[in-house]
């Protein structure tokens, strides 16, 4: 059985993951409205990933005998000036999520909840990958610096990414 404190912290993370999905869908629609279908697809895949992360935690809470408690999902931003601004926001958001995951690990340690600590290690590794991936896109956006040919090439490249459900 999972402790009330750990369960509450995990429920908060489910909410954070669902917000991330919601935010990334908002970003995807911004790109779609500007005919940047590759960027839109990339953000849609990001949204699917975040939803799957939330569901992974949701399932874990239930598996451990915890209770699911949904909170309000904050309305995401929807107005940006440029594609680079969105990519920068994604990088900042992923860094924030990394902090949230690290906080969960701290709670698991404090609660001496070894099972949850082991479960959370997947998310620790996932956040390393997430930050590296968006960091690479951000660096390329800086190199492009608004060049239309570079944006076109980047849009084509990002459009090739497909959603792959996480492996258990």
93-143 confidence digits (pLDDT tens): 999 999 999 999 999 999 999 999 999 999 999 999 999 999 999 999 999
**pTM of this prediction?**
0.93
CA distance 25 to 86: 12
40 φ, ψ to 5°?
-60, -45
Cβ atoms of 2 and 61 within 8 Å: the answer is: yes
Q: Which CATH number fits domain 4-70+79-158: 3.40.50.300, 1.10.10.10, 3.20.20.70, 1.20.1260.10?
A: 1.20.1260.10
Cβ atoms of 38 and 87 within 8 Å: the answer is: no
pLDDT by residue (tens digit) across 47-60?
A: 999 999 999 999 99
Domain residue extents for the chain: 4-70+79-158
Asked which of 22-26, 119-123, 162-166 is least confident by mean pLDDT, the reply is 162-166
């Amino acid at each position: 059985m999972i402790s009330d404190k750990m369960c509450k912290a995990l429920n908060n993370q489910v909410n954070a993951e669902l917000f991330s999905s919601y935010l990334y869908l908002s970003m995807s629609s911004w790109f779609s409205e500007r005919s940047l279908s590759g960027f839109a697809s990339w953000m849609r895949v990001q949204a699917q990933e975040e939803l799957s992360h939330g569901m992974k935690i949701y399932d874990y809470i239930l598996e451990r005998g915890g209770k699911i408690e949904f909170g309000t999902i904050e309305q995401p931003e929807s107005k940006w000036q440029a594609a680079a601004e969105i990519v920068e926001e994604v990088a900042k958001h992923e860094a924030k999520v990394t902090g949230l995951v690290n906080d969960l690990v701290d709670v698991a340690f404090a609660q001496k909840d070894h099972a949850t600590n082991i479960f959370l290690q997947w998310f620790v590794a996932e956040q390393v990958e997430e930050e590296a991936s968006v960091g690479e896109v951000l660096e390329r956006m800086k190199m492009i610096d608004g060049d239309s040919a570079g944006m076109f090439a980047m849009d084509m490249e990002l459009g090739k990414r497909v959603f792959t459900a996480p492996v258990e």
